[in-house]
């Protein structure tokens, strides 16, 4: 194995100072990073182990009604936090639809945001990849592209962001709290990940050394709790990344949508918020025709990056279905197959 330094700082500021050295990487659960290192995809010169930093593993329910989720909170702990599940059910459903139980027990909130794409050309070190090496080229273009991006891609990169968790988060205006050498700053999750443009090697707005310390969900997000779902289509029933996924949330009063939130996963290099579609639904009646119009609008700018045109139609259908599910109401408990089209929904005919 490559020789690297391993540091275990005691405080956030020590961590930030240590990670400001070039070639540093933060290590939390390592569920993605260690695979990347073993495969030679990344070769950090120093690992800054943040697992023991104090105070980053808490779920704080804030006085105003928001919630602050520490960067080291494990996926499973978050998904099984009863307050979170009750107030932000789509977030819990999204987490539980990801990875496997073993991975969720280890993987962290901060790591989820920063996980790398699953583009196979990124993992195949013999392929040119602009993400791995700026300016090297993109061999995914013209290769096996069935599952690549249909929104926001560029000639430099057609990869997608694989997170489930981030999809409802971006729909709910989550804010990323970041600690850096010059102090703390906040970035809306929607602006946190960068689209590839001509610099796909820059994946987020984080500056060298900056550390995600928490993610905050605003109080307003809880207003959707009665009508919030996450839906994920995948190529096996569990333990697979989304082909396309969607979070949909509605505030409904007197059979009228007051406000809608829609975000897509698996379609772009970031979790994809669709404000135009959301705005179309405000004031509309929650019916199939309105949902289809919104879905159409959500994908208006989509274009295939290869042999993946089906994902655009699939995404429309998923947005529509997620909205139907949201309108039908959040189930009392997260279904046994979270976010799955096969999740049993007693008494609701979804597939008429």
Partner 1 sequence: MPEIVLTQASAHLRHGSNIGQPLTRRDGVLKVTGAARFAADNHPPGMLYAVLAVSSIARGRVTFLDLQAAKAHPGVVEVMTPANKPLLAEDPDAKTNPFIFRLDVLQNDHVRYANQPIAVVIAETLEAATEGATLLFPRYETEAVRIGLEAGESFIPPGVGIGNPAETHQGDVEAGLAVASRRIDATYETAAQYHNAMEPHAIVAAWDGDSLSIDMPSQGLAMALGRVAGLFGIPPESIHIRSPFLGGGFGSKGLISGPQVLGIMAARLVGRPVKLVLRREQMFGPVGHRAPTRQTVRMGSDSDGALTAIDHHTKTASSTFDDFFEPASDISHTLYASPAISTSHEAVRLDTGTPLFMRAPGEATGSIALESAIDEMAEACGMDPLAFRLKNYAEVEPISGKPFSSKALRDCYAQGAERFGWARRPLASRQMRDDAGLLVGWGMGTATFPALMFQGQARAVVRNDGTGIVETGAHDMGQGASTALAQIAADGLGLDLDQVEFRSGTSDLPDAGIAGGSSHTATAGMAIHSAGADVIARLADLATGDERSPLFGAGNAGVIARRGRLFRRDDESRSESYAEILARAGLAEIEGRGNSAADPAAQSSYAMHAHGAVFAEVKIDPELGQIRATRLVGAFAAGRVINPRLVRSQYYGGMIWGISFALHEHAVMDPRSGRPMNPNLGEYHVPVNADVPSLEAILVEEHDSYVNALGIKGVGEIGITGTAGAVANAVWHATGIRIRQFPITLDRLIEPTP
Which residues contribute to the site for partner 1 (CB under 8 A)? 1-3, 39-40, 118, 120-121, 123-127, 139, 142-144, 146, 233-240, 243, 309-311, 313-314, 317-318, 320-321, 337, 340-342, 344-346, 348-352
Question: CB 340 → partner 1: shortest distance, Å?
Answer: 8
Dig out the tokens for 85 from the structure.
């599940």
Select from 229, 202, 258 the least CA-distant residue to 343: 229
Q: What's the closest the beta carbon of residue 234 comes to partner 1, in angstroms?
A: 7
Write down the least CB distance from residue 12 to partner 1, Å: 31
Q: Which is nearer to partner 1, 14 or 313 (CB)?
A: 313
How do beta strands 183-188 and 244-253 pair? unpaired
- Of 43 and 184, which has the nearer Cβ to partner 1? 43
Nearer to partner 1, 172 or 291 (CB): 291
CB of 104 to partner 1, least distance (A): 14
Let me know: does 167 contact 230? Beta carbons within 8 Å: yes
- Least distance CB 102 / partner 1 (angstroms): 12
User: Tokens for 4?
Assistant: 């690297």
Bridging pattern class, strands 211-217 and 175-180: antiparallel
First to last CA, the chain: 55
Based on CB atoms, which residue is closest to partner 1, 208 or 344?
A: 344
Please state the closest distance from residue 1 (CB atom) to partner 1, in A: 4
CB nearer to partner 1: give 199 or 337.
337
Identity of the residue, 76 or 238, whose beta carbon is nearer to partner 1 in the bound complex: 238
Phi, psi dihedral angles at 103 (to 5 degrees) = -65, -40
Residue with the two structure tokens 């997260």? 334
Burial of 115 (0-12, 13-18, 19+ CB in 10 A): buried
| Distance separating alpha carbons of residues 74 and 26, to the nearest angstrom | 16
Burial status of residue 49 (CB atoms within 10 A of its CB: 0-12, 13-18, 19 or more): middle
Q: How far is the CB of 350 from partner 1 (least distance, A)?
A: 6
Q: How far is the CB of 345 from partner 1 (least distance, A)?
A: 6
Among residues 287, 283, 294, the alpha carbon closest in space to that of 324 is found at 287
Provide the H-helix boundaries in 116-267.
Answer: 120-123, 166-171, 189-192
Note the helical H segments in 124-269.
166-171, 189-192
Q: Using alpha carbons, select from 66, 80, 42, 16 the residue that is nearest to residue 338.
A: 80
Please say whether the beta carbons of 189 and 215 come within 8 A.
yes
> 10 vs 350, which CB is nearer to partner 1?
350
Specify which residues 253 forms β-bridges with: 256
Q: Which is nearer to partner 1, 2 or 82 (CB)?
A: 2
Q: Report, in Å, the least distance between residue 275 CB and partner 1.
A: 24
**Complex with partner 1: residue 101 or 282, whichever CB lies closer:** 101
């Amino acid at each position: 194995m490559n020789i690297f330094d391993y540091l275990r700082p005691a405080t956030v500021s020590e961590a930030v100072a240590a990670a400001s050295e070039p070639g540093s990487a933060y290590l939390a659960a390592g569920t993605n990073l260690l695979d990347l290192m073993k495969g030679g995809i990344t070769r950090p010169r120093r690992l800054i182990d943040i697992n023991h930093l104090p105070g980053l593993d808490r779920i704080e329910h804030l006085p105003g009604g928001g919630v602050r989720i520490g960067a080291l909170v494990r996926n499973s702990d978050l998904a099984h936090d009863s307050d979170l599940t009750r107030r932000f059910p789509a977030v819990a459903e999204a987490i539980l639809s990801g990875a496997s139980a073993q991975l969720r027990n280890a993987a962290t909130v901060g790591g989820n945001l920063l996980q790398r794409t699953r583009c196979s050309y990124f993992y195949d070190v013999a392929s040119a990849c602009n993400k791995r090496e700026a300016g090297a080229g993109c061999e995914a273009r013209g290769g096996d592209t069935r599952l690549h991006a249909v929104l926001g891609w560029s000639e430099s990169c057609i990869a997608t962001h694989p997170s489930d968790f981030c999809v409802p988060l971006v729909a709910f205006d989550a804010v990323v709290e970041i600690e850096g050498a010059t102090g703390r700053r906040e970035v809306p999750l929607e602006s946190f990940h960068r689209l590839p443009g001509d610099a796909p090697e820059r994946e987020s707005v984080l500056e060298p050394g900056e550390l995600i310390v928490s993610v905050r969900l605003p109080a307003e997000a809880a207003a959707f709790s009665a009508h919030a779902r996450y839906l994920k289509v995948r190529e096996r029933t569990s333990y697979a990344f989304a082909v396309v996924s969607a979070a949909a949330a509605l505030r409904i009063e007197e059979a009228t949508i007051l406000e809608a939130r829609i975000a897509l996963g698996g379609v772009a290099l970031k979790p994809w918020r669709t404000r135009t579609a959301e705005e179309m639904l405000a004031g509309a009646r929650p019916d199939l025709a309105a949902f289809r119009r919104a879905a159409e609008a959500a994908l208006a700018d989509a274009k295939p990056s290869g042999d993946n045109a089906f994902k655009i139609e699939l995404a429309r259908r998923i947005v529509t279905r997620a909205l139907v599910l949201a309108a039908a109401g959040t189930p009392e408990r997260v279904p046994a197959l979270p976010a799955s089209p096969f999740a049993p929904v007693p008494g609701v005919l979804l597939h008429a």
